Homo-oligomer: A and B are copies of this chain.
Amino acid sequence: MPLTHFPPPPNIKAPPLSYATRVGDLLFVSGIPGFDDTGQLSDDFATQFGFVAATIKRILKDAGTDVAHLVKVNVLLTRAADVATMNALYADAFGPPPYPARTTCVIAQLPDPRMLIEIECVASVASA
């Protein structure tokens, strides 16, 4: 099947990756960090979460889909203390129910040590 790549915004100094790749009717979205539109990263968890969710929603929209069509989400945290806050913010940002399947884990570090969260996901996209 042919692939469609969705590149990172041109103003971001991104590593060698696409923000998302479509294959057939599935969209695989990269682990998205919480930088704002000017490339700044807040040290506040809720602020980082907000930019992660906003960026994912923009990627989904660019690919012709939305949060209601998320199939699977992986939430990567660097601090166990953020789990409860994340669940509250997540329920609001990725709702209403039914929610996609999801895995949450606390890892040692993300590529930038100031990153507190990344979210990656798989979404369904309407057939062309």
Which residues in A have some Cβ–Cβ distance to B below 8 Å? 1-3, 5, 7, 15-21, 23-26, 28-31, 69, 71-74, 76, 78, 80, 83, 87, 90-91, 94-95, 97-111, 113, 118, 120, 122, 124, 126-127
Contact = CB atoms under 8 A, between A and B. Distances in A.
A17 to B, nearest CB: 4
Contacts of A95: 16
A110 B74 CA distance: 13
Complex copy number for this chain = 3
Contacts of A30: 72, 101-103
A77 to B, nearest CB: 9
A101 B26 contact: no
B26 A23 contact: yes
A105 B1 contact: no
B127 A103 contact: no
B101 A17 contact: yes
A18 B105 contact: no
Contacts of A74: 103
A34 to B, nearest CB: 14
